[in-house]
Amino acid sequence: MNIEHFLTNASPSWMQHESESDIVISTRIRLARNIANTRFPISFTEEEAQVVEEKMMKVLLSTDVNPYQFSYFQIKDMPVLQRQILVEKHLISPNLARRKKIGSFFLTKDESISILVNEEDHIRIQSLTQGMNLKEAFKEARTIDRYLSKSINYAYEDRYGYLTSCPTNVGTGLRASVMLHLPALTMTKQMNALIQMMTRLGMVVRGIYGEGSENLGNIYQISNQITLGKSEETILHELQEVVEQVIQKEQLARKNLLMRAPSILEDRLSRALGTLKFAKILPSEEAASCLSNVRLGVSLGLLEPISQRKLNECMLLMQPGLIQQYIGTTLQPAERDMYRAKLLQDKLNEQDEAINNGEKGEDFL
Amino acid sequence: MICEHCKQRHANVTVTQVHNGQKVERHYCEVCATQFHPFQFDVSEEPTSLQQLISNWFNFVPVNAKKESTTKQTTNPKACPSCGFTYRQFLKQGKFGCGQCYETFSEQLPQLLERIQAGTQHVGYEKNAPSKEKVEQQINELRTLLHQAIAEERFEDAASIRDEVRELENKIKQEGEGNA
C-alpha cells in the first residue's frame, strides 16, 4: 500500500458506519511499550534507533506467521504536507511529524491501527474505532501487543509494570480516549465546571488534536490520566462511566436549550447552515463552529437531514493539510479559506442530491 | 497570569479571536470573560500544553523541602549509569532516558508517582503472565491438595489453599475479559 492511499482517503473504512448518536465521534486506544535494555528515544543514538526499527520491521512485515498486513513508512522521507495530513487524520502524532531523522510508522489498510516507532517511546500501538467502543478498540490493540510480545522483549518491571519514558504513562501504558461533540454544554457554559470535575476523577479533557490543542468546533477528547495502580479493566470502566455521564448531561442541556430558547437556537443553527452553503471565505475556526452547529441542528431535527458520515468527512476535510491535498497544490492561508468554503459547499450539495432525490435543494437556491 | 481586563483575578479563560485572518488570544478571568461574550465563546481550558503542565507538576516541591532537596542534589548528582540522566535533568524534560532510570531514581520515584498516579504498584497485565492452560492446571493441582487437607481436617491449610485458588480463578477471569 503506498502513501497516497492514506493521504487521499477522507473516509477510511473504520469511519464509514452510521452511528446512532452524533455526540460520540470516535474511540482511541493507545498502548506505550519499550524494548528492554535499549535507551528511550530521548537519549538513544541513531544506531540504537535503527536496531529498534529493524526489530519492528522484522516482526510486522514478515509474512509467515504475521496475521496483519502493515504498510511501513519512514518519517524522514516525507514532505511537510504529507506529515500534516497524517496528523490531521490522527494516524501519527504531531510529535512524530516534527522529526527530522528518526521515527517511522506502520498502518493497516483500513487505517484503524497505527504503530508509531521511536516516538516518545519505542513502540506506540494505536487503535481507532468509530463511536463509543472502548472494549473493542482495546481488544484490537491488546492483540497486537501480544503478537509483538512474542518476539520482542518489553521493558517491564514487576513493581512499575511497562516502563515508559514519561512517568505519566508507566504501568499499563494505556491511554484510552473518547472524542465527543458537546455543543450544548459549551453553549450553556457548563464545560468549565465539567472539566474541573473530570480532572478530579483522574480524567484529562483536551481539544480535538490532542495534547496542547484548543477546542475546535466544540469537540473534546476525554482520556484517562492514570496508568499506574489501576488495572486495564478499571481504567476502561471508569472512563466509560464518566463519558456516559457527560453524554447524559449534553442531552439534558440540549433539551433545556430547546425548551427555553427554541427560536433563538433554530435561528443560530440555520444561520450556520446558511454560512456553510453561501460563504465565500471560511477560516477553519468558523467552519468548525458552523459544522458543529449544523451537526447539532441535524441531530435535533431542526435542520434537513445530513448523514453523520458526511459531516465527519467535512470535519476532517476542512483541515489545512487535507484541503491542499484535495485541491492538489499548496495554498496560502487566505486561499485556503476560499477553497475551504468551496469544498464544504460541494460536499454538502452532493448530500442534498442524494437525499432529496433529484429535487436539488430548491429551498437553498 | 492576571486577567487582562480587571487586572485583579487570575486569568483562566483564553478567548481566541480571529480578525482578518489574524489570531489574537486574550486571557480573562471567568467573570470578565462572560461580560465579553454573553452568549457564546470558546473556552480553551488548557492554555498551556499538557507537557508544560506535567513538568510544572513534577517540579512542585513544598517550600520547606525545596531548600533541602536542592542542596542535596548539587552535592550528590546521581546519574543513571545507562543513559547518564540526572534527576534534575528528568525534572526539566519530564521524561526518563531509559528503563534503568526507574531503578536509579528509586528513592525519589514513589513520592513523584503518588502525586501523578493512583499508586506505586502496577496492577494491570503482567508481562510474563502464565498461559490460561497453565493456570488451570495449577488450580486443579491445588484443588487436589484442598480435598486432601479437608480429609485430614487441616482446616487452616484448607482455607489458605482455597484463597489461592480464588486468586488464580480471578486472574483467568480478568484476562478473559480483557480479550473478550
Please state, in angstroms and rounded to a whole number, the distance separating the CA atoms of residues A155 and A328: 44
Kindly provide the residue ranges of all beta strands, DSSP E only, lying in A131-243, ordered along the sequence. Answer: 156-157, 161-162, 174-181, 203-206, 219-224
* Chain B touched by A163 (CB under 8 Å): yes
Please tell me the distance in Å from A3's CA to the nearest CA on chain B: 30
A interface mutation test: which of B104, B117, B172, B173 has the most A CBs within 10 A?
B117
* Amino acid found at A22: D
Average pLDDT of the residues in B84-89: 90
A228 three-state secondary structure: coil
> In this structure, which amino acid lies at residue A199?
T
- Verify whether the Cβ–Cβ distance B174 to A231 is below 8 Å: yes
For the segment A237-243, the average pLDDT, to the nearest whole number, is: 95
Q: Strand A113-117 to strand A104-108: parallel, antiparallel, or no bridges (unpaired)?
A: antiparallel
Q: Which grid coordinates belong to A296?
A: 447539532
Closest listed residue to residue B12, CA positions, set A143, A221, A199, A137: A199
Residue in A203, A293, A209, A308 with CA at minimum distance from that of residue A257: A293
Quote the strand ranges of chain A, DSSP E.
Answer: 24-33, 70-74, 104-108, 113-117, 123-130, 156-157, 161-162, 174-181, 203-206, 219-224
pLDDT score of A289 more than 80: yes
**pLDDT value for A292:** 94
Under DSSP, the state recorded for A190 is -
Binary contact (A172, B124; C-beta < 8 A) = yes
Q: Is A181 annotated as a binding residue?
A: no
The three cell numbers locating residue B25: 488570544
B99 with A155: Cβ contact below 8 A: yes
pLDDT confidence of residue A97: 93
In tens, the pLDDT along A115-174 reads 999 999 999 999 999 889 999 999 999 999 999 998 999 999 999 999 999 999 999 999
Whether residue A143 is annotated as binding a ligand: the answer is no
Range 36-65 of A in CB contact (< 8 A) with B: 36-40, 42-44
Q: Tell whether the model's pLDDT for residue A260 goes beyond 70.
A: yes
- Using the predicted structure, report yes or no on whether residue A205 has a pLDDT greater than 70: yes
Give chain A's mean pLDDT: 89
* DSSP at A133: -
Tell me what the pLDDT averaged over chain B comes to: 75
Whether the per-residue pLDDT at A236 is higher than 80: the answer is: yes
What is the widest separation between alpha-carbon atoms in chain A?
A: 67
Give the pLDDT band (50/70/90) at residue B166: confident
Q: Confirm whether residue A208 is marked as ligand binding.
A: yes
Cα dihedral value A157, A158, A164, A165, nearest 10: -60
What mean pLDDT do residues B37-49 have?
A: 40
CA distance B115 to chain A (A): 10
Which residues from chain B sit within 8 angstroms of residue A286, using beta carbons? 18
Res. A19: pLDDT tops 70: no
pLDDT tens, position by position, A291-345: 999 999 999 999 999 988 889 889 889 998 999 988 888 899 899 999 999 999 9
pLDDT digit string, tens, across residues A49-86: 999 999 999 999 987 777 888 999 999 989 999 999 99
Range scoring the smallest mean pLDDT among A303-317, B10-24, B29-43? B29-43
Q: Which of A42, A160, A225 is nearest residue B122 as measured by Cβ atoms?
A: A160
Provide the 8-state DSSP code for A45.
-
Please report the pLDDT score of residue A62 as a whole number: 84
A152 Cβ under 8 Å from any chain B Cβ: no
Chain A residue numbers touching B102 (CB-CB < 8 A): 157, 160, 163, 170
More confident residue, B132 or A249: A249
Among A125-139, A176-190, A244-258, B3-17, the least confident range: B3-17
Is the four-CA dihedral B140, B141, B147, B153 of positive or negative sign? negative
**Window from A143-147, B7-11, B173-177 with minimum mean pLDDT:** B173-177
What is the β-pairing status of strands A123-130 and A113-117?
antiparallel
Instruction: Find out whether A142 and B179 touch, Cβ atoms under 8 Å.
Output: yes
Query: In chain A, what residues touch B120 (CB-CB under 8 Å)?
Result: 159-160, 228-229
Binding-face residues of A in 10-39 toward B, CB within 8 A: 34, 36-39
B173 three-class SS: helix
Other C-beta atoms closer than 10 Å to the C-beta of A357 total 8
> Which one is predicted more confidently, B67 or B133?
B133
Number of residue pairs across A and B with CB atoms under 8 Å?
164
Taking contacts as CB-CB distances below 8 angstroms, the residues of chain A near B117 are 167-168, 170-171, 226-229
Please give the Cα distance from A284 to A339 (Å, whole number). Answer: 11
